[in-house]
């Protein structure tokens, strides 16, 4: 029961109607490829059974005000409406509530997300496809019903399509009023919903697409068409040179702590237990973020830990047990507060905690394979060396390379460090400031490869006769190394910058943070700190 | 929600459809002789009857009912002279591209005169066709009315459409009226010299309605027809209540604040729509409270709302940015924010000190909320920590937001106030 509920919750939370729809249709197509499935107007309403108002309200705890406001603005059957602009930050339930409201009303609507329809043409064609009840499939070569790129063409096509749909809706309304068919399409209004509307601003800086979409209802002048724009940014972030008539704003505020409690209490098997858990964790976590999606990932892990001492999850906690559970959980809260945003799997978290305890105990031996998990991803040894050398190349000034990688150079740099006069301190501070502002420096490919060769040879020396040799002859591996470099670039560990104005070659830049670099270096037992120039 | 009153439902539907239809409002405002309606109608109908060319600009802020007035006149004229008028409508948002505009003109002309429209026709073909059609229509004493909505957008680029239209109108054979509609009051200044010299420089300004007009308009919109399918007693009662509300001093104050913010008709209509949507469908009457809530809901302060949505950690970061701004550092990024954050923590020992990762995520949330933004657009090669940012809220807004935040740490307020 709870599982089923959860599933439906998940569907309503993220999955949009179009995705659930396409899943349905795929099922049909796969089952019977020659099925003569005739799309009807019913496709324009939500695919599942309509839900009652009470159900709708209970599905979204803490959103009662917003749901009622939406229902009021949408109004009674067949009442026209100016464009709505629904906004609120991420994970406040804008999209899912609107979709479910339409499910409740069972009125026809056309949903398009500007995230998946990432250009005007795709957006236009997606709207037209849905209005014309056109499904892309193998028979029509997955093509759209109409090809339309310009707003002017779109207006012509969409007007035609809307008139058709509205006519058939009117017919339908007359029919149902006589035969009293329930669960059918309601009313003769059709609503166009544009999700992720904030992305439209980026589409074309100079273009008129934003005022066009805002003014679409004025251009169409059809009272039977309602427009709803869903955006995660507030209306004052929409600028356009020509201006537009402001739509009616509906605001979805972030959930309060009480709302969050209600949301997390939903679908919990043991309400009492979970509530005592929330008593402990909700407040500190709320200070960091109020986003439901981030909180829920953090809580799911913590709750498992909370329940660890319990043998029976159905138990009703009393005061004494609550205290016991609390003292069990307490040491984990603070670290997880600082880890909240990691998408960590269970073993990873455990490993992190182990590390913590080990460090506290002072046992700081080289841990061998434990450190490999530390990075959290697998990577070949040469890639790690490459990463470390890129890090060094980004952090160290190029002029010091010779002295650092010379065998005698290491001690030199230490000597230089000792004598610090007033002036050099000031300089140091300025340099630090610059490092903070400018970030890691850039380097050329030649320098990277030179450092790479240096440190691999050092690594070989230090490893001695270890079986885990990096590369027998690093000269022979040059092409492989270049390949590795490309893959590191693709995974954003190293970014390609612009070309150097003097040399003309491409410059690279390492995005590795120092912590991660140290971890990587430790996993290949490379003495990174020896080679890192400290200002 | 209890059972709903069918008459109330009907009434609300009627009011909503009225409010969504600008023509209804304009019709009411257009009866006086010196209204824009009568002026424009006289001008257009005289050029139809006297077979002359004309051009005029309708100027006024967005939502002041320019297009609605024009539509009303065109429907009237089409009834009056059904055979001698054809209307071509263009919109700057759709047809600002010259090629596209000529194509659309050709398409509408073909539709009007039952000709075959070729999609493949070139720019030259289409413009040639338009000039031919203008001459033919002139010979047949038919007037073509060109309506150019968002006129200022046609004035971008080379203005070839405007030039060829206005140039064709210089000859005696043609018979056309060009009506430009724009919300830019300096729209005629945007024209090139060759276009401007061919333009008539007639302008019609759309001013907001006077107070008396506003009052009459409100009554006209909100009162129900007594002789319709609605129950008579209900309609009479409804109208009586509306009259009481309209006469109320508090209501007049609300209207005043509305007008002070934005005096266009459209703004008023949106406000009324909100009020009608709040109408209690059980009793079926509008109350003063409906208007009050509509006013408070129609004017939001998005930035303050955004601050209220933030978590405590996000507020800390905002305050750090604010402090950096006060210190007049020329640019700052996440790293300098972290430095500031650490120094705050070191000097005040706050309980909210989180790791760098957590702060970075909070920082990204602020970016998503657009309370802060990157100062440069190009630095994609840099990671987020190093890209310089700027604050998008003023210190007053931040201060206000912090004060209205229900559980804001005292230290933050102190830090901002200094």
B40 and B144 belong to one structural domain: yes
- pLDDT tens digits, residue range B337-369? 898 899 989 888 888 888 888 898 899 999 988
DSSP-assigned letter for residue B263: -
> Which among A235, A286, A290 has CB closest to B302?
A235
The answer to whether position A426 is within a domain reads no
A45 and A129 belong to one structural domain: yes
Dihedral sign for Cα atoms in the order A272, A274, A279, A280: positive
Number of structural domains in chain A: 3
Q: Does A15 have pLDDT greater than 70?
A: no
Q: B interface mutation test: which of A69, A70, A86, A89 has the most B CBs within 10 A?
A: A89
pLDDT band of residue A39 (cuts 50, 70, 90) is low
CB of A206 within 8 Å of a chain B CB? The answer is no
Q: Does B178 have pLDDT greater than 90?
A: yes
Is there a contact between A53 and B91 if contact means CB atoms under 8 Å apart?
Answer: no
pLDDT at A161: 93
For A517, the 3-state DSSP assignment is helix
Nearest CA in chain B to A236: B302
The answer to whether position A10 is within a domain reads yes
- pLDDT tens digits, residue range A473-491? 445 556 778 888 888 888 8
Contacts of A290 in chain B (CB under 8 A): 309, 311
Domain boundary among B154, B182, B205: B205
Q: Which of A403-407, A416-420, B154-158 has the lowest mean pLDDT?
A: A416-420
In this structure, what CATH number is given to the domain that contains residue A462?
A: 1.10.10
Tell me the C-alpha distance between A91 and B107, whole Å: 46
A33 and A57 belong to one structural domain: yes
The answer to whether position B22 is within a domain reads no
The answer to whether position B334 is within a domain reads yes
- pLDDT tens digits, residue range B192-219? 999 999 998 889 998 888 888 888 888 8
In chain A, what percentage of residues exceed pLDDT 90?
A: 13
Name the A residues in 116-155 with CB < 8 Å from any B CB: 150-152, 155
Q: What is the mean pLDDT of residues A166-176?
A: 82
Q: Which of A18-27, A184-193, A343-352 has the lowest mean pLDDT?
A: A18-27
Name the A residues in 345-384 with CB < 8 Å from any B CB: none
Q: Are A154 and A97 in contact (CB under 8 A)?
A: no
Q: Which of A171-185, A330-344, A385-399, B347-361 has the lowest mean pLDDT?
A: A171-185
In this structure, what CATH number is given to the domain that contains residue A191?
A: 3.40.50.300
Max Cα-Cα span within chain B: 89
B249 and B339 belong to one structural domain: no
pLDDT at A355: 40
CB of A157 within 8 Å of a chain B CB? The answer is no
Domain boundary among A251, A270, A288: A251
B272 and B391 belong to one structural domain: no
B241 and B387 belong to one structural domain: no
Q: And the tokens for B169? A: 């109108």
Is there a contact between B358 and A246 if contact means CB atoms under 8 Å apart?
Answer: no
Nearest CA in chain B to A80: B17
Distances B61 to A312, B36, B181, B183 between C-alpha atoms, Å:
69, 14, 10, 5
Q: Does B378 have pLDDT greater than 70?
A: no
Name the A residues in 158-187 with CB < 8 Å from any B CB: none
- pLDDT tens digits, residue range A115-140? 999 888 999 999 999 998 888 888 88
Nearest CA in chain B to A219: B91
B168 and B247 belong to one structural domain: no
- Give the domain range for residue B217: 6-17+210-298
Name the A residues in 275-294 with CB < 8 Å from any B CB: 286-291, 294
Contacts of A212 in chain B (CB under 8 A): 93-94
The answer to whether position A55 is within a domain reads yes
pLDDT band of residue B381 (cuts 50, 70, 90) is low
If you count residue pairs, one on A and one on B, with CB atoms under 8 Å apart, how many are there? 170
B316 and B411 belong to one structural domain: yes
B330 and B413 belong to one structural domain: yes
The answer to whether position B244 is within a domain reads yes
The answer to whether position B407 is within a domain reads yes
Distances A336 to A115, A311, B277, B310 between C-alpha atoms, Å:
32, 24, 46, 20
A245 and A392 belong to one structural domain: no
Q: Which of A102-106, A406-410, B86-90 has the lowest mean pLDDT?
A: A406-410
Q: Does B300 have pLDDT greater than 50?
A: yes
Exposure on the CB side of residue A113, measured as CA atoms within 13 A = 14
In chain B, what percentage of residues exceed pLDDT 70?
A: 97
- Give the domain range for residue A11: 2-251
A266 and A238 belong to one structural domain: no
B160 and B245 belong to one structural domain: no
A62 and A100 belong to one structural domain: yes
Domain boundary among A207, A226, A251: A251
Higher pLDDT, B160 or A402: B160
Domain boundary among B151, B172, B205: B205
The answer to whether position B328 is within a domain reads yes
Over chain A, what is the mean pLDDT?
A: 75
B114: left (phi over 0), alpha (psi -120 to 50) or beta: left
In this structure, what CATH number is given to the domain that contains residue B323?
A: 1.10.10.10
Q: Does A32 have pLDDT greater than 90?
A: no
The answer to whether position A422 is within a domain reads no
A348 and A450 belong to one structural domain: no
Name the residue with tokens 């055979």: B83
Nearest CA in chain A to B9: A76
Name the residue with tokens 């729209």: B187
Is there a contact between A436 and B369 if contact means CB atoms under 8 Å apart?
Answer: no
Number of structural domains in chain B: 3
A23 and A126 belong to one structural domain: yes
pLDDT at A460: 61
Domain boundary among A227, A251, A275: A251
> Which among B9, B19, B336 has CB closest to A436?
B336
A31 and A67 belong to one structural domain: yes
A94 and A208 belong to one structural domain: yes
> Which among B13, B270, B305 has CB closest to A251?
B305
B400 and B271 belong to one structural domain: no
Would you tell me the crossing angle of helices B356-369 and B312-326 to the nearest 10 degrees? 80
The answer to whether position A242 is within a domain reads yes
Nearest CA in chain A to B64: A245
DSSP-assigned letter for residue B385: G
Domain boundary among B271, B298, B325: B298
pLDDT at A511: 81
Higher pLDDT, B3 or A96: A96
> How far off is chain A from B170, nearest CA to CA, in Å?
29
The answer to whether position A159 is within a domain reads yes
Task: Determine the distance from the C-alpha atom of residue A162 to the mean position of all C-alpha atoms in its chain, rounded to a whole number.
Answer: 35
The answer to whether position A423 is within a domain reads no
The answer to whether position A371 is within a domain reads no
Q: Does A85 have pLDDT greater than 90?
A: yes
The answer to whether position B1 is within a domain reads no
B91 and B78 belong to one structural domain: yes
A213 and A347 belong to one structural domain: no
Within 10 Å of residue A41's Cβ, how many Cβ atoms?
A: 16
B57 and B200 belong to one structural domain: yes
In this structure, what CATH number is given to the domain that contains residue B98?
A: 3.40.50.300
Determine how β-strand B176-182 pairs with β-strand B54-59.
Answer: parallel
Tell me the C-alpha distance between B174 and B166, whole Å: 11
Cβ partners under 8 Å of residue A141, min gap 6:
none
Contacts 24+ apart (CB under 8 A), B37-41: B37/B69, B37/B72, B37/B73, B39/B204, B40/B69, B40/B70, B40/B73, B40/B204, B41/B73, B41/B76, B41/B77
A167 and A313 belong to one structural domain: no
Q: Are B376 and A439 in contact (CB under 8 A)?
A: no
3-state helix, strand, coil in chain A (%, to 5): 55, 5, 35
B273 and B343 belong to one structural domain: no
A270 and A399 belong to one structural domain: no
In chain A, what percentage of residues exceed pLDDT 70?
A: 74
Cβ partners under 8 Å of residue B109, min gap 6:
B86, B88, B115, B129, B130, B133, B144
Is there a contact between B383 and A340 if contact means CB atoms under 8 Å apart?
Answer: no
The answer to whether position B380 is within a domain reads yes
Higher pLDDT, B33 or A131: A131
């Amino acid at each position: 029961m709870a599982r089923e509920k959860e599933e439906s919750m998940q569907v309503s939370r993220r999955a949009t109607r179009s995705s659930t729809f396409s899943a349905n249709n795929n099922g049909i197509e796969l089952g019977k490829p020659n099925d003569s499935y005739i799309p009807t107007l019913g496709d324009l309403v939500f695919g599942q059974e309509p839900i009652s108002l009470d159900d709708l309200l209970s599905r979204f705890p803490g959103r009662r005000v917003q749901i009622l406001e939406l229902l009021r603005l949408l109004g009674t059957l067949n009442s026209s409406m100016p464009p709505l602009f629904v906004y609120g930050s991420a994970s406040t339930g804008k999209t899912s509530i609107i979709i479910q409201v339409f499910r409740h009303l069972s009125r026809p609507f056309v949903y398009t997300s500007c995230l998946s329809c990432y250009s005007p043409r795709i957006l236009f064609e997606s709207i037209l496809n849905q209005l014309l009840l056109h499904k892309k499939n193998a028979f029509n070569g997955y093509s759209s019903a109409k090809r339309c790129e310009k707003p002017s063409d779109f207006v012509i096509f969409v007007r035609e399509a809307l008139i058709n749909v509205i006519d058939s809706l009117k017919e339908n309304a007359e029919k149902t009023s006589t035969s009293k068919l329930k669960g059918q399409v309601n009313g003769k209004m059709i609503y166009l919903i544009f999700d992720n509307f904030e992305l439209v601003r980026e589409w074309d800086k100079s273009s008129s697409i934003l005022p066009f979409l805002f003014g679409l209802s004025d251009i169409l002048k059809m009272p039977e068409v309602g427009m709803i724009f869903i955006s995660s940014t507030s209306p004052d972030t929409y600028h356009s040179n020509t201006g537009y008539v402001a739509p009616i704003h509906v605001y979805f505020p972030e959930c309060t702590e009480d709302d969050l409690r209600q949301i997390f209490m939903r679908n919990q098997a043991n309400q009492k237990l979970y509530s005592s858990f929330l008593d402990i964790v909700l407040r500190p976590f709320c200070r960091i973020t109020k986003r439901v999606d981030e909180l829920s990932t953090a809580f799911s892990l913590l709750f498992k830990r909370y329940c660890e001492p319990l043998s029976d999850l159905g138990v009703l906690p009393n005061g004494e047990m609550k205290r016991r559970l609390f003292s069990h959980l307490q040491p984990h809260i603070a670290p997880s507060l600082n880890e909240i945003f990691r998408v960590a799997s269970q073993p990873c978290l455990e490993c992190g905690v182990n590390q913590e305890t080990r460090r506290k105990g002072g046992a700081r031996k080289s841990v061998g394979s434990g450190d490999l998990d530390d990075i959290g991803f697998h990577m070949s040894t040469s890639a790690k060396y490459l990463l470390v050398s890129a890090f060094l190349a980004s952090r160290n000034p190029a002029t010091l390379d010779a002295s650092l990688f010379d065998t005698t150079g290491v001690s030199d740099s230490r000597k230089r460090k000792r004598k610090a006069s007033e002036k050099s301190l000031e300089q140091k501070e300025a340099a630090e400031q610059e490092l903070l502002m400018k970030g890691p420096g850039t380097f050329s490919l030649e320098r990277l490869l030179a450092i790479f060769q240096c440190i691999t040879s050092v690594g070989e020396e230090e490893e001695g006769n270890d079986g885990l040799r990096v590369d027998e002859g690093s000269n022979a591996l040059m092409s492989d190394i270049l390949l590795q470099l490309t893959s590191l670039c693709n995974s954003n560990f190293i970014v390609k910058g612009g070309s150097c104005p003097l040399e003309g070659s491409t410059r690279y830049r390492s995005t590795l943070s120092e912590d991660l670099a140290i971890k990587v270096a430790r996993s290949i037992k490379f003495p990174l700190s020896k080679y890192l120039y400290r200002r | 929600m209890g059972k709903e009153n069918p008459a109330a439902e009907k009434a609300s539907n009627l009011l909503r459809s009225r409010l969504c239809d600008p023509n209804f409002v304009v019709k009411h405002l257009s009866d006086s002789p010196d209204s824009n309606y009568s002026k424009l109608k006289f001008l257009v109908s005289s050029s139809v009857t006297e077979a002359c060319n004309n051009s005029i600009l309708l100027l006024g802020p967005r939502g002041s009912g320019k297009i609605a007035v024009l539509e009303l006149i065109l429907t009237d004229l089409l009834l009056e002279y059904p055979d001698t008028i054809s209307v071509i409508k263009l919109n700057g948002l759709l047809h600002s591209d010259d090629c596209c505009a000529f194509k659309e003109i050709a398409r509408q002309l073909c539709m009007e005169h039952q000709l075959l429209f070729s999609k493949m026709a070139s720019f030259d073909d289409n413009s040639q066709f338009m000039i031919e059609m203008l001459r033919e229509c002139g010979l047949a004493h038919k007037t073509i009315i060109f309506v150019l909505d968002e006129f200022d957008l046609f004035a971008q680029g080379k203005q070839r459409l405007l030039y060829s239209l206005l140039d064709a109108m210089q000859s005696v054979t043609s018979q056309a009226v060009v009506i430009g509609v724009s919300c830019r009051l300096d729209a005629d200044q945007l024209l090139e010299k060759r276009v401007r010299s061919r333009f008539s420089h007639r302008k019609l300004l759309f001013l907001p309605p006077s107070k008396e007009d506003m009052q009459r308009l409100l009554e006209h919109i909100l009162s129900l027809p007594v002789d319709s399918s609605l129950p008579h007693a209900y309609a009479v009662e409804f109208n009586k209540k509306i009259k009481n509300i309209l006469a109320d001093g508090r209501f007049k104050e609300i209207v005043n604040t509305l007008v002070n913010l934005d005096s266009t008709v459209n703004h008023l209509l949106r406000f009324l729509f909100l009020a009608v949507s709040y109408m209690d469908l059980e009793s079926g009457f509008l109350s003063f409270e409906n208007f009050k809530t509509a006013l408070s809901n129609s004017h939001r302060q998005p930035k303050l709302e955004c601050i209220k949505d933030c978590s405590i950690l996000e507020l800390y970061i905002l305050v750090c940015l604010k402090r950096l701004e006060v210190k007049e550092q020329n640019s700052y990024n996440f790293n300098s924010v972290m430095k500031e954050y650490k120094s705050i923590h070191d000097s005040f020992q706050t309980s909210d000190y989180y790791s760098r990762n957590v702060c970075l995520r909070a920082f990204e949330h602020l970016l998503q909320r657009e309370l802060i933004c990157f100062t440069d657009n190009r630095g994609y090669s840099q990671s987020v920590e190093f890209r310089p940012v700027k604050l998008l809220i003023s210190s007053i807004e931040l201060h206000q937001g912090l004060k209205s935040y229900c559980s804001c740490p005292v230290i933050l307020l102190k830090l901002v106030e200094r």
